[in-house]
């Protein structure tokens, strides 16, 4: 069913109709003579947006997003690049973790490691934190904190800095996960899956009213899954539990509570070493270069609360909080050198103990107002963010030299215990970091005419940061104003042009060689683009041109991973094209192309351009499904990128893989689905690194069968 949204009436109708929802429907007969709904006219308000979900729909697109803004905004009215990955896309592609999804999302680059521990990049910059319902928490890939997707309705991706509402964000942008909320009607789904490489999944999702009036609603989601995507003898396990409660205190006021638990048990794999001459090992190579006792465990707890109120005059207020607590520990080995001429390699080890705690609170108020004949919007708010991280690390410089096929036979070593005991050949480091941020922000959305929108805003932020080894710490504090500006020109009801400027000023937790905190990072982006909405808003098209500048980004020193240096001035520029949604009521698509070019204007170290070499210049992603019949759906996709090269000169050729899917609706409630990824079994390196590590082969062909029951 197509959705017809009158974008120009978004806020105006909200005021006119006093915050109520208005619908208009049309219908016609299909080939069988049945009456079918063709269109639904939505006059969007914040109240209605709370009910807009992609779960239980076949939608590949959404007309509104909250990422980069405190309030729901029509995508065409956001003057930056925004992608929305819906529940239907996640189900059709049968992905479980965010890095699995990001590999298939236009404009995102994944430096593959273990599922849930991979690094995700946009426009050359890593996402090192993520938002849930707009509230941030750290997302370092090494901590294994990339979210499992079962608890979320959709994923919103903003590319480029968002310093207006997120002072601690990254230049690459923001990833916002929108939680599944309790529903007013009873619904549920149960799913079982089995496949190659020891894949399995069992999950359930039940939601509905808890009282007769439906003013109290609850939802419970649980999932256990696992897979061995490489020759490790042990499976990687992922556990998720999510519970949510919504209470309508009054018709205009809603209190929401939520709890999310995630656990990972992984056998870490750092990839293959290179040959003695620095060339990659030929594939397929099924060797697990790591000990049989390699281990990584992560436990994550998130608690949410929000209070929303709609005023009679059309204004809206919201207070949201999020508390996060994570523990991750690891003990594993990997190659510490290139192979010698006989295939022998030095073995090194890494042990970590990471404790992370964060708290965020945000309060905002929005109010529509008139200027002449147009309706405009004002947003004002305040936020506070606290994060504390204890990073305990142990290294073994050498655990011996063995043939690389025999690394898994290395005798067990308690790396952390050995390092803390001061044994020869082991080193230990401890870093404790505390960050406190607070800010005041405001934004004006003004419409001088019905077809022209101006967005201006600013943020006054204050931060305090302290970091050190627990004994000798350095501290820094500062207050900084960052601005934001953008314009949107509606050419007609389907096509818009936009331009924006966004800035970022971010404190850094890394210590330099003098054991002092590095100076804050600062950068900016200019973006120009086009957005179109076709087929009654069912299909969204985006074209973006951008140029980003930043300086002072931290980079680790090869001789001492606990110390960092500030990089010089860098410029990232490129172009992106994306199309998502429905071409017809049977044909869905999500595709995109990105071009990225980097330039080091002022270099500080030989590693300045190291990470950017790992960013392919060209990437292309395509996924499409077609409803052959009412019951049968077929899908296929391509993920392709050009060559990459590490700072040490290890080069990975370009590659392309093909995924396919078929689903069949056995009954009204029972569905069978088959996914085959990398159907041609293409052999390639998904990531390259140094001569000894992070040269990680891409996943070989996998087949997964799922059966689901929905009520």
Q: Note whether 146 and 114 are within 8 A (CB).
A: no
Helices of type H across 343-422: 415-420
- First vs last Cα of the chain: how many Å apart? 20
Torsion of CA 195, 196, 198, 202, to 10 degrees: -10
Torsions phi, psi for 577 (to 5 deg):
-130, 135
Element spanning 10, H or E: helix 10-16
CA atoms within 13 A on the CB side of 141: 17
**How are beta strands 374-396 and 253-266 bridged, if at all?**
unpaired
Strands 401-403 and 374-396: unpaired
| Cα-trace Rg, the chain | 25
Structure tokens at 221: 């989601």
> What sign for the dihedral angle of Cα 449, 455, 456, 457?
positive
* 17 pLDDT higher than 70: no
The answer to whether residue 32 scores a pLDDT higher than 60 is no
Q: How far apart (Å, rounded) are the C-alpha atoms in residues 455 and 363?
A: 20
pLDDT of residue 10: 33
User: Phi first, then psi: what are they for 411, rounded to 5°?
Assistant: -65, 150
For residues 10 and 155, what is the distance between their CA atoms, to the nearest angstrom? 23
Q: Across-strand partners of 363?
A: 319, 382
pLDDT at 166: 66
Report the alpha-carbon distance of residue 74 to residue 78 in Å, rounded: 7
Strand extents, DSSP E, 45-91 = 64-65, 73-74, 81-86
Among 152-166, 305-319, 347-361, the minimum mean pLDDT is found in: 152-166
Neighbouring CB atoms inside 10 A of 423's CB total 11
Q: Which two tokens stand for residue 413?
A: 């070593």
CA distance 208 to 573: 47
Residue 1: both structure tokens together = 């069913």
Helix (H, G, I), strand (E, B) or coil at 46: helix
C-alpha 365/C-alpha 381 separation (Å) is 6
Supply the pLDDT for residue 535: 87
pTM equals 0.89
DSSP-assigned states of every residue in 256-299:
EEEEEEEEEEE-----BPPPTTSPPPPSP-----S-TT-EEEEE
Tokens 């890939």 locate to 141
What pLDDT sits at residue 56? 83
Query: What is the average per-residue pLDDT within 634-647?
Result: 93
Residue 192 in 3-state DSSP?
strand
Quickly state the pLDDT bin for 6 (edges 50, 70, 90). very low
Among 112-121, 262-271, 467-476, the least confident range: 467-476
Cα 80 to Cα 533: distance, rounded to the nearest angstrom:
15
DSSP state of 695: B
Other Cβ atoms closer than 10 A to 706: 20
Ordered DSSP codes for 460-513: EEEEEEEEESSSSEEEEEEEEEEEEEEEEEESSSSEEEEEEEEEEEE----B-T
Name the β-bridge partners of 179. 152
pLDDT confidence bin for 556, thresholds 50/70/90: low
Percentage with pLDDT > 90 across the chain: 61
Is residue 412 classed exposed, middle or buried when 0-12, 13-18 and 19+ CB atoms within 10 A define those classes? Answer: exposed
Residue 98 dihedral angles phi and psi, to the nearest 5°: -65, -40
Average pLDDT, the chain: 86
For 205, half-sphere exposure in the C-beta direction (CA atoms, 13 angstrom radius) is 20
Encode pLDDT of 434-467 as tens digits. 999 999 999 999 999 989 999 999 999 899 999 8
114 versus 6: which is more confidently predicted?
114
pLDDT at 621: 97
DSSP 198: T
Q: Which of 124-128, 232-236, 499-503 has the highest mean pLDDT?
A: 499-503
Cβ–Cβ < 8 Å for 431, 466: no
- Chain-centroid distance, C-alpha 208: 28
Phi, psi (degrees; rounded to nearest 5) at 250? -150, 175
Tokens of 157: 């991706």
DSSP 170: B
pLDDT of residue 100: 92
**Percent of all residues in the chain with a pLDDT value above 70, rounded to a whole number:** 88
Number of CB atoms found within 10 A of residue 653's CB: 11
**Residue 591 to residue 541: CA distance in whole angstroms:** 10
Bridge partner residues of 63 (DSSP): none
Residues 362-397 have pLDDT tens digits of 999 999 988 888 889 999 999 999 999 999 999 998
Question: Do residues 102 and 116 touch, judged by C-beta distance below 8 A?
Answer: no
Count Cβ atoms within 10 A of the Cβ of residue 585 and give its class: 0-12 exposed, 13-18 middle, 19 or more buried: middle
Nearest by Cα to 110 from 590, 696, 704, 546: 696
Token couple for 426: 């082991």
Closest to 298 in 3D by CA, of 419, 135, 140, 98: 140
Before 654, cis peptide (omega within 30)?
Answer: no
**What residues contact 340, with CB distance under 8 A and at least 6 apart?**
276
For 48, the enclosing helix (H) or strand (E) is helix 46-49
Conformational region of residue 692, where left means phi above 0, alpha means psi within -120 to 50, and beta covers everything else:
alpha
Are 85 and 101 in contact by the 8 Å Cβ rule? The answer is yes
Residue 601's Cβ-count burial label (10 Å; 0-12, 13-18, 19+) is exposed
- Max mean pLDDT among 7-11, 21-25, 257-261, 406-410 falls in 257-261
3-state secondary structure of 463: strand
């Amino acid at each position: 069913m197509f959705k017809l949204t009158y974008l120009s009436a978004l806020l105006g109708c909200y005021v006119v109709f006093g915050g109520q929802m208005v619908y208009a429907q049309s219908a016609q007969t299909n080939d069988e003579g049945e009456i079918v709904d063709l269109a639904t006219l939505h006059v969007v308000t914040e109240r209605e947006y709370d009910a807009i979900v992609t779960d239980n729909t076949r939608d590949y697109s959404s007309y509104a997003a909250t990422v980069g803004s405190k309030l729901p905004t029509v995508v065409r009215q956001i003057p930056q690049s925004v992608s929305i990955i819906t529940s239907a896309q996640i189900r059709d592609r049968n992905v479980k973790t965010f890095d699995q999804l990001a590999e298939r999302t236009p404009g995102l680059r994944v430096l593959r490691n273990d599922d849930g521990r991979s690094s995700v990049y946009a426009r050359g910059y890593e996402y090192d934190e993520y938002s849930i319902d707009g509230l941030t928490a750290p997302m370092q890939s090494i901590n294994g904190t990339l979210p499992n997707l079962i608890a979320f309705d959709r994923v919103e991706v903003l590319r480029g800095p968002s310093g207006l509402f997120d002072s601690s964000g990254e230049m690459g942008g923001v990833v916002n996960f929108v939680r599944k909320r309790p529903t007013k009607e009873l619904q549920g789904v149960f799913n079982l899956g089995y496949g190659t490489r020891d894949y399995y999944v069992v999950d359930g999702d039940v939601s509905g009213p808890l009282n007769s009036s439906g003013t109290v609603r609850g939802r419970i989601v649980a999932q256990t899954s696992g897979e061995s995507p490489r020759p490790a003898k042990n499976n990687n396990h992922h556990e998720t539990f999510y519970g949510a409660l919504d209470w309508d205190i009054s018709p205009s006021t809603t209190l929401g509570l939520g709890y999310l638990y995630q656990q990972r048990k992984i056998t870490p794999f750092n990839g293959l070493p290179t040959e003695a001459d620095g060339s990659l090992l030929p594939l397929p190579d099924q060797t697990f270069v790591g000990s049989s006792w390699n281990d990584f465990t992560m436990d994550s707890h998130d608690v949410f609360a929000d209070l929303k109120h709609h005023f009679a005059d059309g204004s809206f207020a919201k207070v949201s909080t999020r508390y996060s607590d994570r523990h991750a520990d690891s003990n594993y080995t990997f190659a510490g050198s290139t192979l010698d001429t006989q295939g022998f390699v030095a073995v090194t080890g890494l042990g970590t103990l990471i404790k992370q705690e964060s708290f965020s609170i945000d309060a905002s108020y929005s109010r529509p107002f008139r200027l002449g004949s147009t309706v405009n919007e004002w947003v004002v708010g305040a936020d506070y963010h606290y994060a504390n991280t204890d990073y305990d690390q142990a290294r073994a410089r050498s655990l011996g030299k063995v043939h690389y096929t025999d690394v898994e036979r290395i005798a067990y070593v308690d790396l952390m215990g050995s390092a803390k005991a001061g044994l020869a050949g082991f080193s230990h480091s401890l870093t404790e970091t505390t960050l406190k941020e607070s800010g005041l922000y405001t934004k004006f959305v003004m419409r001088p005419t019905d077809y022209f929108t101006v967005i201006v805003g600013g943020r006054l932020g204050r931060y305090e940061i302290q970091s050190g080894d627990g004994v000798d710490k350095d501290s820094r504090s500062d207050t900084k104003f960052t601005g934001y500006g953008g314009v949107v020109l509606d050419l007609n009801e389907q096509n818009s042009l936009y331009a924006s400027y966004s800035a970022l000023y971010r404190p850094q937790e890394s210590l330099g060689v003098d054991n002092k905190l590095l100076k804050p990072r600062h950068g900016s982006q200019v973006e120009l683009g086009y957005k179109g909405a076709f087929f009654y808003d069912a299909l969204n098209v985006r074209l973006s041109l951008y140029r980003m500048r930043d300086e002072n980004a931290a980079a680790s020193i090869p001789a001492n991973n606990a110390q960092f240096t500030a990089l010089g001035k860098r410029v990232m520029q490129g172009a992106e094209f994306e199309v998502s949604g429905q071409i017809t009521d049977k044909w869905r698509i999500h595709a995109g192309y990105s071009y990225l070019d980097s330039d080091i204007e002022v270099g500080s170290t030989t590693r300045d351009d190291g990470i950017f070499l790992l960013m392919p210049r060209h990437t292309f992603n395509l996924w499409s499904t077609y409803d052959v019949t009412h019951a049968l759906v077929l899908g296929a996709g391509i993920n392709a990128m050009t060559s990459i090269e590490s700072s040490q000169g290890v080069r990975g050729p370009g590659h392309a893989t093909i995924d396919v899917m078929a689903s069949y609706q056995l009954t009204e409630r029972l569905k069978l689905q088959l996914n085959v990824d990398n159907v041609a079994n293409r052999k390639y390196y998904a990531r390259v690194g140094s001569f000894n590590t992070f040269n990680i082969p891409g996943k070989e062909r996998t087949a997964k069968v799922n059966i689901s029951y929905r009520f």
